[in-house]
Amino acid sequence: MRKVRTLKQYTALLLSFILIVSAISINIRDVFATNDPYEINYEYVNIKDMAAANVANKEDNSSLLDGLFSFEETTLTEVEMKQPSSVELPVKKDSAALVTDRQVWYLPTEVGRVTQSPNYWHVALDITSYRGTAEVIHPVANGVISGIYTDSAGALIVTVLHNINGQKYTSQYVHLSRYAEGLYVGKQVTINDALGQMGTTGNSTGVHLHLAVLDCALFDPNDNNCRDLGAWYRYDKIRFQQGYIGLGTMMKVPGEWYSR
Ligand SMILES: [Zn+2]
């Protein structure tokens, strides 16, 4: 006699199959995540590297670095940009409306649309703009440039260190098409300064900004949570599992940024 399967049985089979496939792919991703350390190709990723490379001093701004990282010896140097260009600096007219309750985080662009929200594999916001590469990227809070580098995939990246009521945060801006002129590690920046322009450099399928914020000081050798990028990408998953989703918990993203 022919066996007839009910819809329920088919559904159960399908669900089991989906569960098994998901479990396998999660394991595979874990294997790759642990065996494939994040590689960066950079010239001067932080003050220490720049000092070690003996880059000529731009000016003596050592006072800027007080309280940034507690390096015994710091030398402030200028990073030579690969694609220097001037970037127009729009004033954030209505920025007050975008401040959170904590009056800390600002939007990184004047206009935008969120295309990916934080998840375990991507503890960041992806933001696009109809202006494409013309969209200027601003720091989400006042701070100090702590890193200017490209990753192994060629993404142009800037990081900004923030010290907010004694708590250090790092915001990371990825896939830029170009850096703003005159950026250097140690430079103080405000929410009205430009970091660069939106782009699609590196591992990216279209022009957008990948924006991550974590409560640690990236590249600070004394910060075990994110002394380097390997630590940073481990820490973001730890924090995500603790319920922290970066800007999602701190920055008020306009509702229309989620609509199409
Ligand atoms: Zn992203």
For 178-205, the pLDDT digits (tens) are 999 988 888 899 888 899 999 999 999 9
Looking at the predicted structure, is the pLDDT value of residue 23 above 70? no
Q: What is residue 95's predicted lDDT score, i.e. its pLDDT?
A: 40
Same domain (yes/no): 89, 185: yes
Average pLDDT, the chain: 70
Task: Look at the chain and report how many structural domains it folds into.
Answer: 2
Same domain (yes/no): 45, 1: no
* Residue pLDDT, tens place only, 204-232: 999 999 999 888 899 888 899 988 888 99
Listed in order, strand segments (DSSP E) in 87-228 are: 113-116, 125-128, 136-137, 143-151, 156-164, 167-176, 178-179, 188-189, 196-197, 209-214
Distances (CA, A) of 190 to 92, 143, 201, 237: 11, 6, 24, 28
Distance 70 CA to ligand 1 centre (A): 30
Same domain (yes/no): 84, 24: no
Distances (CA, A) of 210 to 109, 116, 202, 205: 12, 9, 11, 12
Distance 25 CA to ligand 1 centre (A): 20
CATH of the domain at 86: 2.70.70.10
Same domain (yes/no): 216, 242: yes
Q: What is residue 106's predicted lDDT score, i.e. its pLDDT?
A: 77
Looking at the predicted structure, is the pLDDT value of residue 119 above 80? yes
Distance 13 CA to ligand 1 centre (A): 34
Distance 158 CA to ligand 1 centre (A): 14
Same domain (yes/no): 57, 150: yes
Same domain (yes/no): 10, 73: no
How many CB atoms lie under 10 A from the CB of residue 197? 25
Query: pTM above 0.85?
Result: no
Least confident of 52-56, 156-160, 218-222: 52-56
Distance 124 CA to ligand 1 centre (A): 6
Q: What is residue 16's predicted lDDT score, i.e. its pLDDT?
A: 78
Distance 116 CA to ligand 1 centre (A): 7
Same domain (yes/no): 103, 200: yes
Listed in order, strand segments (DSSP E) in 166-206 are: 167-176, 178-179, 188-189, 196-197
Least confident of 96-100, 108-112, 168-172: 96-100
Task: Enter the tokens of residue 47.
Answer: 């003050």
Same domain (yes/no): 11, 117: no
Beta bridge partners of 15: none
Same domain (yes/no): 67, 155: yes
Q: Which residue type occupies 245? A: I
- Give dist(CA 177, CA 234) in Å, integer: 27
Q: What is residue 222's predicted lDDT score, i.e. its pLDDT?
A: 87
Same domain (yes/no): 23, 49: no
Domain residues for 19?
1-36
- Give dist(CA 44, CA 48) in Å, integer: 8
> What one-character DSSP code corresponds to residue 187?
-
Same domain (yes/no): 96, 216: yes
Same domain (yes/no): 149, 207: yes
Q: Which residue type occupies 188? A: Q
Q: What is residue 248's predicted lDDT score, i.e. its pLDDT?
A: 53
Distance 149 CA to ligand 1 centre (A): 17
